[in-house]
Amino acid sequence: MAEESLGLRERKKRQTAHRIWRTALDLFVERGFDKVSVAEIAAAADVSKMTVFNYFGTKEDVLLAPLEAHVADAADAVRDREPGESAVAALRRQFLAKVDGRDPSIGLSDDVGVVQLLRLISDTPALARRVMLFQMRGIALLTDVLAEETGDRLTAGIAAHQLVSARDAVVVENHRRLLAGDRADAMAADCAALAERAFDLVEKGLQGYPASA
């Protein structure tokens, strides 16, 4: 939702959440994730410790909130797809739109905060494990959507694993290049080409799944 369309109270909440996140990121970069407490984040962000917990459940949640917000992207793309459109086509369309928008959620932003976040995840096993759980939740959500539509949970699960894994393989390559110092604009064409290849491979296996009603 665009910032200008929100009420004053909601805008202030978003601004506070972002301030807490940005403050936490700065502290984690400076001192390491494990050496910063929630109390220290709160003090540096000029809020109470309770306020931090009102916005985020754990210290991991503070840092990973931007990633968690996109856990349902694949499920949303398939649920809201056009009539007659396959699941692969829906995810392909969503992903390529994110490429065009240089979307941080697919690792196609070289904003300093995005790169710092990726480096922290790479260097912190607890955060890397949490990101893997996000992937599993995304697969489960997509499985639910496909199973509800088709009534076949096994095939839905197989398809969901293939779709999310193909998409995330491209995202991982984007992360690798960002951490190596590449710029998002220079990566975009390669990213789109890799996405097309990845979704082509999955499409051959799923063959238009699920069938149109």
pLDDT at 3 over 70: no
At 121-168, the pLDDT tens digits run 999 999 999 999 999 999 999 999 999 999 999 999 999 999 999 999
Q: Quick one: which of 136, 122, 120 has its CA closest to 71?
A: 136
Predicted TM-score (pTM) of this structure: 0.90
Q: Which pair of tokens denotes residue 24?
A: 């936490």
Give the model's pLDDT for residue 187.
Answer: 97
pLDDT at 167: 97
**Burial group, residue 49, by CB count within 10 angstroms (0-12, 13-18, 19+):** middle
* CA distances from residue 102 to 46, 97, 167, 183 in whole angstroms, order as listed: 32, 9, 15, 11
User: 2 pLDDT exceeds 60?
Assistant: no
- Work out the end-to-end distance of the chain between its first and last CA atoms, rounded to an integer number of angstroms: 31
Residue 11, pLDDT score = 86
Question: Looking at the predicted structure, is the pLDDT value of residue 184 above 90?
Answer: yes
Query: How much is the pLDDT for 7?
Result: 82
Mean pLDDT of 9-14: 87
**183: helix, coil or strand?**
coil
Q: What pLDDT, on the 0 to 100 scale, is given for residue 22? A: 95
**pLDDT tens digit string along 81-114?**
999 999 999 999 999 999 999 999 999 999 999 9
DSSP annotation string for 16-39: HHHHHHHHHHHHHHHH-GGG--HH
Distance between CA atoms of 71 and 77, rounded to whole angstroms?
Answer: 12
Q: How far apart are CA 62 and CA 50, in angstroms?
A: 13
Mean pLDDT, all residues of the chain: 94
Residue ranges, CATH 1.10.10.60, the chain? 3-57
Residue with tokens 């202030």: 12
Residue type, 158: I
Report the CATH number of the 3-57 domain.
Answer: 1.10.10.60
